[in-house]
Each structure stands twice: as C-alpha cells, then as structure tokens.
Chains A and B, each alone.
Chain A
C-alpha cells in the first residue's frame, strides 16, 4: 500500500465516443455523494480487471475541479499498446462498476504565476480542460495552444473555442500549421509559467526552446506519462522478499512484482512521480530505462530502476525489494 493509492468504488455513468480514436468516460461514486476534491492537472489510476490480468493505467481528470459530482477522463485508443486503452474502449460500458485511485496531482498550476501559457499535443489536451476551467472560475490569465492531426481528431477543440474564444489557438497538421513556439516564448510578460503535455518529442522541444530563451526551470512544467513498453521477458530476484519472478512480454516489472504478492509503493505508474524507485543490488545485462524521474547519471549508474516503466535485458538482476 502506498500514499495516494486509497481506492474509490465508482460506477460508469456515461461513455461517449468523442471521435474515431477517443472515448470519454464519466464516473460517479457507487455509494452516491461527492468524490474527493482535486485541482487541475490531477490524474487517477484506473484499475482494469481483465481475466487474470489487472492493469493500472493513469489518466488525467478533465472535468472541472469545481464539480466533484463526477470525474471524467478521455482515453485515446492505442491499437499496438499493451491493451489498457483497448480494454477501456471495448469492454467498459455504462453501468459498470470500477475501482479508481484517489486523485493525485503531479502537474499542478503554479498559482503564483501572473500568466499561464499552455501547450497541448493531441490527447495531451485533457489536463488542460480541468486547468482552464479552474483558472476561468476566478478570471485567471491563460492562453492555450493546441496542436493535433486534423480537425476531426481535435478532441474538445470546439468546446474550448466556445468557452474561451481566442484565448485558444488550434494548429492542425493536415493544414501544415505549427505552434509558433519561438514567438510565444519571446513575447510573454514576466511571471509567465509554461505548461506542456503531449508526445515526448514535443515536450523536449518546448523544454529545450524555453531553456534557450532563458526561461528558468521553475517556470516550465510538463507531464508525460510513459506507458510501460512491452519487451523481451526477463527474470528478476527480489532479495528482500526472497522471490524469483519472471516479467512477461506484456507485463511491466512493477506489475510482475505485484503479481508475485509483493506490494511496493507507487503513485503514477508512468515514470514521473518517483514513488516506485527501487535499488539494484546486482546485475549482469542492460537496463532499458524509460522514466522521466532518474537523472542521466542515475540511469548510467546501474544502481536504481523505476519498475513502473523500465525493463532489463541480460543474465541476472537482483533488486532490493
């Protein structure tokens, strides 16, 4: 059991197809009443019980933090992923009871900012739906720049334009439009904070450009949940528990540890929060680090691994768990 893993029993009250790739799910408390309060940028971990497999995937809450009657999330279908999004799309129906975690926010607004500049790519729009609702409720100053493949796949671009008018700018790949990042970074008033959520390449582009323009790190916020990648199966020795386990091709190391009956700490399951950081006792092989938590030096040191998203290839791996 770990902090933030308190569970909520919820019922799916609505499933809406937003477009051909994205579905929206509404959850209410199964026992009635209000859900816990949250702030814009928070996510919940959704448990998906699929036969023998339990998947735990994080999704940003996109509903307004002003209403805790229900939580809503949007899930983009990934046909080549490990199956979490396909489970949500194909198996989750209205009326179904599910278990989700309490909300946790690793991408919160810095409310000391004089202005909030938001950059979204694709399904990375979801945390901004909650954040813009929160800011708009008290006249906060924000500007949202949203890039996606096509008009048809621009989830919620219509809703956002209707709510916030020209505070929202849309850029479509199909029209060869691109976020004018250089101009945006050069023309913001002092006290602006920038927030980016989208594909890894886009986050890197924004962070590198902001640093080159002299933006301090403290004013640059980003969130990228790395979904655990499938890979070659490997064996692990858990020294503290005295167990030897095998991590399957479609399983994450964290999931394999849990399947063996060990209950390690975790929070985001996406390589960003640092909760599941695990010491390596010995190894013979190569780490496949996929997290955004450990530093480059730590990745090279062979002393630590984030089991939620990272893997291993080689002869032996012994963890302090």
Chain B
C-alpha cells in the first residue's frame, strides 16, 4: 500500500539478545507476545516484565500471559494509567533493555513516545500491530487529541470541526493529523465512512 513516509511501519516481534525485556500490549496485542514466547529461549521470561491493557477485547489473554511466568506482570485499565509506571520503569532501567510493543497504533505510538523521551535507542524497540486500526488523532486546529477514531472524516471531540484523518503521523504527539475537511464551505458535510476498523 502506497502511503507517506511518516506513516509508521510495524514488524513482527521476535526475541532479542538482551539483559532484560519489557513487553507492552493492549487487547489482541497479547497474542503477539504469546507468539514471540514460542520462539523465545527458556530463560527469556525470567528477565521479562509484561504490561498488559486488556481493553474491551483482551480479557481472554490474561491467563496465558501469566502462564509465561514473567518476572513482573502488570495489568491496567488504560494507556494513561500505565504511562507513569512505564516512566518509572525506564528511569531505573539500564542499557541492554529490549522493548516489545504490540497491539493498537495508539498504544504503540504512546509507549514509543515515552520510551524515546527516556532516551532509549529506537533500535532497541520492536513493534507489531494487532487488533483494531482505530486511530489516535490530533486536531491540527485546536490541538485536541481524539482517541479511537474509526471514521473518515471524523469529528474533533474538542472543537467539533469535521476533520480529514491523514496518514501524516507525528511521533512527537503519537497521533495522526486531522485537518478540517470543509473549511471553504462548512455547509458541505461529506458522508462519514467507517474505515479504520
């Protein structure tokens, strides 16, 4: 699929050489961790920390994740709730830490943003998309963030403008850019289509 350069590209998680491993997933992202576990060396999870945000669709994965016997296991209600823990973990982490992010683009983007801020080298982070393609969108006019955007165009939940959700992605904001779709003629209201499933 042809797109623009800033559109993030995701890969497939695989166990890396390292002293410790931080695995973070939301919803179906858990299945990427379970797939990685099949290829991991025996002692991999003895030095691993799993952070899981089940969301609305991830409840069936918790037992399987715990059965991997990670050194630490955390479960939280949202990315926002998990971020302070991530910041604390990274502040105390050492070189040799490998990060694995799996799940929705919103989770991957926000965790990546916090990790890069902590100084981790991007080459130490692997990502894999699983589950919903719903987007985290920033309105370029009011700067408000709208989570879980599934339609094109989408309404800004802060200023109410009707926005074209672009592929243009900001790493700094961990969000796609939304630009007013009918600035010339606000009475023109294009039909919303659900395309980010």
Binding site for B on A (CB under 8 A): 113-114, 185-192, 211-219
**CB distance A190 to B123 under 8 Å?**
no
**CB distance B93 to A214 under 8 Å?**
no
| Across-interface contacts of A192 in B (CB, < 8 A) | 95
Among A186, A215, A219, chain B packs the most CB atoms within 10 A around the CB of: A215
**CB distance B123 to A189 under 8 Å?**
no
* Contact pick for B119, options A191, A211, A215, A217, CB 8 Å: A191
**CB distance B94 to A186 under 8 Å?**
yes
Name B47's closest neighbour in chain A (CB-CB): A214
> How far apart are the CA atoms of A215 and B16 in the complex, in Å?
10
Among B17, B94, B96, B119, chain A packs the most CB atoms within 10 A around the CB of: B96
Q: How far in angstroms is the closest Cβ of chain B from A119?
A: 14
Could you list 30 A-B pairs, sorted by A, with CB under 8 Å?
A113-B119, A186-B94, A187-B94, A189-B93, A189-B94, A190-B90, A190-B93, A190-B94, A190-B95, A190-B97, A190-B120, A191-B120, A192-B95, A211-B17, A213-B17, A213-B18, A213-B95, A213-B96, A214-B16, A214-B20, A214-B95, A214-B96, A214-B97, A214-B98, A214-B124, A215-B96, A216-B124, A217-B123, A218-B123, A219-B121
Residues 36 to 54 of chain B near chain A (Cβ within 8 Å): none
Name A213's closest neighbour in chain B (CB-CB): B96
Q: How far in angstroms is the closest Cβ of chain A from B90?
A: 6
Residues 7 to 24 of chain B near chain A (Cβ within 8 Å): 16-20
| Across-interface contacts of B86 in A (CB, < 8 A) | none
**How many chain-B residues does the 8 Å CB contact rule pick out?**
19
A191-B120, A216-B121, A218-B123 given; A185·B95 CB < 8 A: yes
Among A185, A214, A215, chain B packs the most CB atoms within 10 A around the CB of: A214
Q: How far in angstroms is the closest Cβ of chain A from B47?
A: 10
Q: How far in angstroms is the closest Cβ of chain B from A194?
A: 8
B181 interface contact, C-beta 8 A: no
Name A184's closest neighbour in chain B (CB-CB): B95
B118 interface contact, C-beta 8 A: yes
Q: How far in angstroms is the closest Cβ of chain B from A94?
A: 46
> How far apart are the CA atoms of A217 and B95 in the complex, in Å?
12
Q: How far in angstroms is the closest Cβ of chain B from A185?
A: 7
Name A211's closest neighbour in chain B (CB-CB): B17
Contact with A along B104-121 (1 / 0, CB 8 A): 000000000000001111
> How far apart are the CA atoms of A238 and B149 in the complex, in Å?
63
* Contact pick for A188, options B16, B18, B95, B122, CB 8 Å: B95
| Across-interface contacts of A188 in B (CB, < 8 A) | 94-95
* Contact pick for B118, options A185, A187, A190, A211, CB 8 Å: A190
> How far apart are the CA atoms of A214 and B48 in the complex, in Å?
14
Name A194's closest neighbour in chain B (CB-CB): B95
| Across-interface contacts of B94 in A (CB, < 8 A) | 186-190
**CB distance B123 to A216 under 8 Å?**
yes
| Across-interface contacts of B118 in A (CB, < 8 A) | 190-191
Among B18, B95, B97, B119, chain A packs the most CB atoms within 10 A around the CB of: B95
